[in-house]
Each structure stands twice: as C-alpha cells, then as structure tokens.
Amino acid sequence: MTLLQIAEPGEAPAPHQHRLAVGIDLGTTNSLVATVRSGIPMVLPDEDGRPLLPSVVRYGDDGVTVGYPAQNAQAKDPQNTIVSVKRFMGRALSDLSDVRRFPYHYTDLPGMVQIETRAGRKSPVEISAEILKALRIRAESNLAGELEGAVVTVPAYFDDAQRQATRDAARLAGLNVLRLLNEPTAAAIAYGLDNASEGIYAVYDLGGGTFDLSILKLSRGVFEVLATAGDTALGGDDFDHRVYCWALETQGIGPVSPSDTRLLMMKAREAKENLTLHGSSTLMATLFSGETITATLTAETFTAITQTLVGKTLAPIKKALRDAKLATTDIKGVVMVGGATRMPQVQRAVAEFFGQPPLNNLDPDQVVALGAAIQANVLAGNRAPGEDWLLLDVIPLSLGLETMGGLTEKIISRNSTIPIARAQSFTTFKDGQTAMAIHVVQGERERVDDCRSLARFELHGIPPMVAGAARILVTFQVDADGLLSVTAREETTRVEAAITVKPSYGLSDAEIARMLEESHANAAADMTTRALLEARVDAERIIDATESALAADAELLAADERATLDEAVARLRHLVNEAGADRRALVEATEALNRASEAFAGRRMDRSVAQALTGLSIDTLR
Ligand code: AMP
C-alpha cells in the first residue's frame, strides 16, 4: 500500500528543479508575460523582441490571430476584431455602460455578454483565453519548457464574477493558475515593498483608457486593499485627443473625415510620446484630404492643454483617501503604473499632491507583470533558501507525502504564500492494488524518516487494475489560517478520502530553523540517498512488471530466452535486496533487464494488437 509518482518515461520526478512560472498582466489594451530568471524578474518578448502583446483578438477567414496582426486588421474588420475584452469579463450587457463604443453584435446571455463573430458566438472568457494562450506559448518558447503555473493579475476592484471569468480564461488557455493577484499589489511587489517596512502605500495607475488609484496596507508581509477609486474613461488616449484638437485648431483646420481623425490621433499619440522621450516634438501629417500639418508641440503647451486631465486624476485620489480615512501624510510611498505616468506633468502633480517623489524607476508598462512574476516564482517554490521564511503568510516547511522507497514528494514547497492548493497524480504500484496509504509529511529532507509526520490516512475502493493504470489525484490545500486538508481521489470511481491537519501546530520558530539547517547540511547526502532509493524503486517496478508478463504470456518465449530473462531478473533482485547496493550497479542491472525483455514486450504488444483487431470488420479498420 504505497504510492508511486507518475513521471514521463525515462524522466525521474525532480522536485528540486527550477520550476517555470510566469506572471501575466492581462491588460485592457496590452498584455505581458514575465518570469524570474536567475533571481531577476524580466518580461519575455515575442520573436521580434517586442515586450507587449496588444490585447486584440481577430476571428479572421483563416483562423484566429492575436496581438499586432489583429490590431492592424482592426480598421478593416472591426466587428470580428475584439479589443478591450477585459471590459466585458464577467459582465452582463446590462452591467455595461460603454458597449456602444464598440461595433460588436452582442448577445445577452445570463451572467455574461457574448459577442457574435465570424467564427460564431464567443464569450469574453474564450476571447481572453486566446490572449492568454498566445502569452503561454510565448513563455514556453522563451523558457524552453512547460509552465508549472502562472499568476494572473486583475484590477483590485474586480468582483468575484470578473475574477472567476479571468481564472476560467487562464484555465482554458492551458495555464495552471497559481493565484490571481491584484494589479496594484503586483506593482508594489515589483518595487520590493513587500520586503519594506510596514505601512500604507498608494498605487497610481494611468493607462491608455483607464485610471485606477489603490491604497494598500502592508502588514506582516501581506497586502490588503484599503480603498480603490478611479475613472474608467480617463487615460493616455484623452491626452492624445487634446493634442489632436490643438493641432487642428492651431492649423485652422475644420472637422475632418473619420479616416483623417484616426490618422491624426495616431500622430498625436506619437507626438505626445516623443515629447516625453525627447523634450520636444513635431506633429507632421498629410491628411487624406490633401492638407498637410506641421505643428511643433512644446512641453509648456502640452502641459497647458492637458492640465485639466491631470487635475481630473486627483479627485479619485481624494475619494480613496477619504474612504480609507487617511491623509496624504499617512502614505509611505507612491507607485507609478501605466504608460501614461511617463509624462512629466503627471509625475509632478503626483509628487506635489503626496509631498514626496513617486517610485518610478521601473518601466511603468511592465511593473505589474514583473510583480506577478515575482509572486509566481515564490508560489512555484523557487525562492532561495532562507528567504522570508518567518513571514506568517507563507508555509514555513514544505508539505508532501511519502512515495515508494520511503521518499518524500513535496506537493507544496515551503515559502509558498497561503492560501494555496496543489494537486498531483499518483498511481498504484502493484497489480490489483485496491487501497493506498497516504502519509502526509512536513520538511525539506529527502527521506520520510527525516521529516515530520503530520497525518496518515487510507484510500480504499480503488478498482483492481494493472499497476500504473489507476489515477489517484492527491490535493493539498492550505487555507488562509494555515489549515491543511489533503484529499485523495481515484479518478474513475471518484472514491475519495480526506483528512485535515494543522501543519504548523507545535512547531516553534527555533524548530523550523533547525529543520531547515539540517536539510541544508544534508542536502548532498540526501540527494545520493534519494538517487539510490529511486534506482531501487525503478528496479522493483521492472521486476514486478516482468514477472506479471511472464505469468501471462510465458509461451511467447523460447526456453533459452526465458532462461536469459530469469537470470536478469534474479541478478537485479539480488542487488535490490543487498544492503549496501551501489546505485550504478542497480541502474545497469535494470537496464540489462530492460534490454533482455525488449523482444518479449514487442511480441506481447503484437499479440494484444492482434487480439484487439480480431472480430473487427475491414470497414472498421479503414
Ligand atoms: P498602458 O495601458 O499602461 O500600456 O499605457 C498606454 C498609454 O501610455 C498610452 O496612452 C500611451 O500613449 C502612453 N504612453 C506610453 N509611452 C508614453 C510616453 N513616453 N509618454 C507619454 N505617454 C506614453
């Protein structure tokens, strides 16, 4: 009654590998994916080196496109090119005030509005999943591996329905969601404020189309959102519009056609961004009407024409402070998020309002994704040893269970922030095994005997199957109070057994420190022990498999073949039972048995295929 971990053929489960985890900023206009590499958070670019993925999905004649190609097709195919889908997540048509801004055909289903496209009716969840899928693929090709999981950010004001929709979209995109994280919290983490002293922080987020202000309280390493306020119709686009109006006015040009408006708005945006970057800029355009425009935008002019817009962001700040019953002097730091916070007049206004310079040395477009990546890295269990382990909201020691050979398999790594849930598949070791013992342990060491035993329970009622066929999903869940529940479920019959334990109970900080020290001191020896135990488990598995194959199909072997196989089994069994067995010898003998049984396995396969095909008509086979 023991557990065996399922691993890919030839691939030993390797709990100490760096686990690939990403942070995703699923934005209204742009999305990003970031990861932590060698301790440094970084955004992962596309194949052309571009960090942003426009959050645009197009259902074209020849399939779905996402990002820049979709964005480029927006003007020519607006109804099938979905922008700003984030605004529709978890929302019914009646919840939305600005749907008429978009040229879509809506269907109002209970719960969430749907959009009719060339490819049929699409839910915002499916559309967002396309964006997330593109980011997953980008990450997997950048990191050359499969992702362990992702942290996806959401606005702090998102309600349950919007959060659930985001989570569903991520799942649909094939992502394992480690956590949904509030965008302002992610930004604060990117600035390392979670390691800073406790206090209250403001996050000022001015993007392309929206403004959000959040007030966060950091205590004991956990961020709490105290208040949020904002304006869903205020952002960088409005600054573009001011430049556009100014350009027409100074040139004495009257109303222009829709295509000239689009062109001029684009030029206005370029002029605005260049002004921040270079201190001066000239807007030059030849309109479709034939008129040409050359207008030089100075910093003074730009500041003057956008003054009211900057002023408009102060009202929500005051509201949020009022809601949280705070004064500006209570704010310990201000984090700047969103491309539009690059504008110097915005920086100045914020500094003046709060009486302190804002934190702005990270790229404001990337800061949310970077913070999410840092959080994902922690949740995936990649933190360096010794970091932050006394924080109350993290698990001080890894939680896992006993697998074959008295080894521990870590399910939730230490330092994971709670609440957290993790599941892993296991299978049976013996043919016909109908029960499984689950032994829950805590600690960093490789051998169960060196860890702390937390609980034991059994799962009964597994239908008898050949070894390795049953799928037992073991789920570890630690709630916000640090309570651990472990559930084991056999997936075909759905029989289930569960237990709840309080893992940190009775462990003092000193004990935790001792267990960690021991695990570091013994790391090398533990790895050797683990490797030996794994080799022994592999050997036992192949002996068992060979013996049951011999019991079933011995007649497929000639006498001399049988003798060779018996000899290989005997040799391996001898090594398995030997007290001071050497890992190399075990591995070699296992490989020898593998080779000796190859032809036999092939013949068994041929026979079972032939048996399966008997009775099938030629038609079925075609
Ligand atoms: P986001 O939604 O965070 O990607 O922000 C996009 C907004 O930031 C757009 O309105 C951009 O024009 C604006 N933005 C990006 N770079 C700059 C810049 N250098 N100066 C002024 N605004 C910028």
Mean pLDDT of the chain: 85
Q: How far away, in angstroms, is 237 Cα from ligand 1 center?
A: 8
Q: Nearest residue CA, atom 17 of ligand 1?
A: 273
Residue 385's contacts (CB-CB under 8 Å, 6 or more residues apart) are: 516, 520
Whether 342 lines ligand 1, by a CB cut-off of 6 Å, is yes
> Poorest-confidence range of 120-134, 542-556, 601-615?
601-615
Candidates 239, 265, 342, 346: which one to mutate for ligand 1, based on the most atoms within 8 Å of Cβ?
342
The catalytic site residues sit at 25, 86, 183, 205
Atom number of ligand 1 nearest to Cα 27? 2
Q: How far away, in angstroms, is 51 Cα from ligand 1 center?
A: 14
Q: What is the pLDDT of residue 617?
A: 43
Measured between alpha carbons, how far is residue 423 from residues 412, 483, 492 in Å? Answer: 9, 16, 16
Q: How far away, in angstroms, is 30 Cα from ligand 1 center?
A: 11
User: Which whole number is the average pLDDT over 540-562?
Assistant: 87
Spatial CA neighbour of 180 closest among 223, 155, 222, 151: 151
Global pTM reads 0.63
Q: How far away, in angstroms, is 606 Cα from ligand 1 center?
A: 64
pLDDT digits 0-9 by tens, 510-524: 666 666 677 767 777
Q: What is the pLDDT of residue 10?
A: 37
Q: What is the pLDDT of residue 212?
A: 94
pLDDT digits 0-9 by tens, 255-279: 888 888 988 998 999 999 999 999 9
Q: What is the pLDDT of residue 397?
A: 73
Report the alpha-carbon distance of residue 522 to residue 527 in Å, rounded: 8
Report the alpha-carbon distance of residue 542 to residue 410 in Å, rounded: 25
Atom number of ligand 1 nearest to Cα 364? 3
Residue 430's contacts (CB-CB under 8 Å, 6 or more residues apart) are: 467, 544
Q: Is the pLDDT score of 392 beyond 50?
A: no
Residue 141's contacts (CB-CB under 8 Å, 6 or more residues apart) are: 47
Q: What count of Cα atoms within 13 Å lies in the side-chain half-sphere of residue 299?
A: 10
Whether 396 lines ligand 1, by a CB cut-off of 6 Å, is no
Q: Is the pLDDT score of 560 beyond 70?
A: yes
Q: What is the pLDDT of residue 566?
A: 92
Q: How confident is the model at residue 27 (pLDDT cuts 50, 70, 90)?
A: very high
Atom number of ligand 1 nearest to Cα 210? 2
Q: How confident is the model at residue 197 (pLDDT cuts 50, 70, 90)?
A: confident
pLDDT digits 0-9 by tens, 561-585: 899 999 999 999 998 888 777 888 8
Q: Is the pLDDT score of 14 beyond 70?
A: no
Q: What is the pLDDT of residue 515?
A: 67
Whether 183 lines ligand 1, by a CB cut-off of 6 Å, is no
